[in-house]
Amino acid sequence: MNQPKIKRRVGKYEIGRTIGEGTFAKVKFARNSETGEPVALKILDKEKVLKHKMAEQIKREIETMKLIKHPNVVQLYEVMGSKTKIFIVMEFVTGGELFDKIVNNGRMKEDEARRYFQQLINAVDYCHSRGVYHRDLKPENLLLDAYGNLKVSDFGLSALSQQVRDDGLLHTTCGTPNYVAPEVLNDRGYDGATADLWSCGVILFVLLAGYLPFDDSNLMNLYKKISAAEFTCPPWLSFGAMKLIARILDPNPMTRVTIAEILEDEWFKKDYKAPVFEEKENTNLDDVEAVFKDSEEHHVTEKKEEQPVAMNAFELISMSKGLNLGNLFDVEQGFKRETRFTSKCPANEIIHKIEEAAKPLGFDVHKKNYKLRLENMKAGRKGNLNVATEIFQVAPSLHMVEVRKAKGDTLEFHKFYKNLATGLEDVVWKTEEDMQQVK
């Protein structure tokens, strides 16, 4: 474990931990070795892209995203390709998810919720004006930068499996069911702009109420509630907020309020600040052309890892809240989709202990180097719960273990983690302070 470690690199980028996963892509933390700048690296599998006949669509959307520079949209910097993968280099946003604030602090006051909603509508309006639709707006895609400003991630890239048919409408049902518009569920085709707006309405409701407008453990009941727009606003909402939510959560996309109408709404307009930014000029799209022509001379080189990733102070700080590294090592880190703990045990022993603790909970364990994927064979509210686990070497005799929800319901993940933590008590490194608290 003490021998020197070759970091995985893609071109000039040093690759770190996985920070997100989707059907077609994985997102890794990375660092530009020339400038030291942190970035998020989205990795697409070329074989899957070609198999689903998505190359043209992805190329078009990447080109459009390169042209978009908006303060409330995560920036796309460049695209690279290897023999088997497409790498999309994006802005790394450090402030966490907007919804962590609700989970940790409860519902927001109207002024605060309105400010975030205004920024969300600014982002959505701008991208729609460029012909780019998100189609999967949900909590995981709303990030905050270091200054507390909203940044929408995955615009134009999240719903890579979407296809537009001859009627000009999209037909793939996708997204988190609670945030999806009725016309998407009905599968008669839908307009990306009005569907995005419905999701914005659900998000506004959650910011103000602290809970979902449509929720049911039975999927068919949930679909019925969404299709009938069957929801009740909590009594603490102002009349203006209730009225706007009702106009957005209109089950008929033809009569649903438009963005232009929202911008004129009295509740929305209060303290509104129009975004200030410069349009991108002379954006170079040569990298996109090279990746999709698949010319070998432009292939980027990849170097693989075979040991737990050694984590440097730079990465530790970027993962913590501010500069307080203590937050990294809390076993209970609030209500999130990932958590971490440290251990002084050897990496192989940690893997063995996680296996021992996960199997009685009904999980299949798949191992690859110092990563584990735990799959629950029993389907939950949002399908099977999948948990990704990775071990990082922080120091020669200290490891950090990240346990992250890869798929499924967040509530189920937290329940699972509490059960798992019980089985790992003798693995987790406890400081003297922790021991004092136990006494």
- Find out whether 42 is annotated in a ligand binding site: yes
111 part of the active site: no
Q: Which residues contact residue 41 at a Cβ distance below 8 angstroms, ignoring those fewer than 6 apart?
A: 10, 13, 15, 27, 28, 29, 30, 87, 88, 89, 90
Q: Which residues contact residue 38 at a Cβ distance below 8 angstroms, ignoring those fewer than 6 apart?
A: 29, 30, 31, 32, 92, 94, 314, 318
Whether 364 and 375 have beta carbons less than 8 Å apart is answered as: yes
Can you tell me which residue has the tokens 């537009």?
Answer: 164
What CA–CA distances, in Å, run from 189 to 55, 165, 227? 22, 9, 15
Catalytic residue among 125, 136, 154, 250: 136
Q: Active-site residues: which are they?
A: 136
Binding-site residue ranges for ATP: 42
Binding-site residue ranges: 42
